[in-house]
Structure formats: C-alpha cells, structure tokens
Amino acid sequence: MFCSNCGNEINDNADVCIHCGVSVSKKNKDNPSHLAGAVSCCFPIVGLILYFLWKDDKPKSSKLVCRWMIAGIVLWILFYVVMFLLGFIGAMSDSSYSSITYVL
C-alpha cells in the first residue's frame, strides 16, 4: 500500500509510515468486493472505470474488477456468437423448407 502523506510504498501491515512517520489509517485496506466485480461483468465499462480509479490505491480490488470485466467481455462475445449461429442455422433450415413447399 502507499502512504497517504508522502506517497511512498509501505508494507500492507504497517501502522506507521517508515519514510515520514505518519500513522497510517487502517480504513484504506484493500478488501476486494465481488459485488463490484459482478457489476463490472455485466457492464464492462464500469469495470474499466473502476480499474483506473483503484489501480494505485487498491491493487487487489482493481485486479479483481479487471478479471470480472474480461470475463464479462468474453461472455458477451460468446453470447453473440451463439445467437449468430442459431440465427444462421434457423435461416438455413427455413430456406430448405420453403424450397420444398414450392416444388410440391
């Protein structure tokens, strides 16, 4: 983690910054939230924004959000590929039935 006073990197378990001596607050601990991850999975732009907001202060949370965001993008792509294939197969089967009805 980083000191809020001087900005130098310090140990995650430190109570006092070794560079400037200021007490480090425990409220800024990096506890990743899966709720933020799930939101970034459904809305990848939110994940991108959260990643850039948290990448310096909360590296664990930003990494988790980035993973959820990538998973969401992959799921959206798979969804569209499956829907395209189902539509293509449906169109092909409809055209074969229509040609049979015209012949008869």
**Tens-place pLDDT, residues 23-51:** 776 555 677 888 988 899 888 899 889 89
Range of the domain at 13: 1-29
pLDDT computed for residue 27 by the predictor: 54
**Paired residues of 9 in beta bridges:** 2
Same domain, 77 and 38: yes
Question: Greater confidence, 23 or 82?
Answer: 82
Same domain, 24 and 38: no
Same domain, 37 and 21: no
Same domain, 25 and 44: no
Instruction: Indicate yes or no: pTM above 0.75.
Output: no
CA distance 47 to 44: 5
* Cα-to-chain-centroid distance, residue 16: 33
Same domain, 24 and 71: no
Same domain, 25 and 36: no
Beta strands in the chain (DSSP E): none
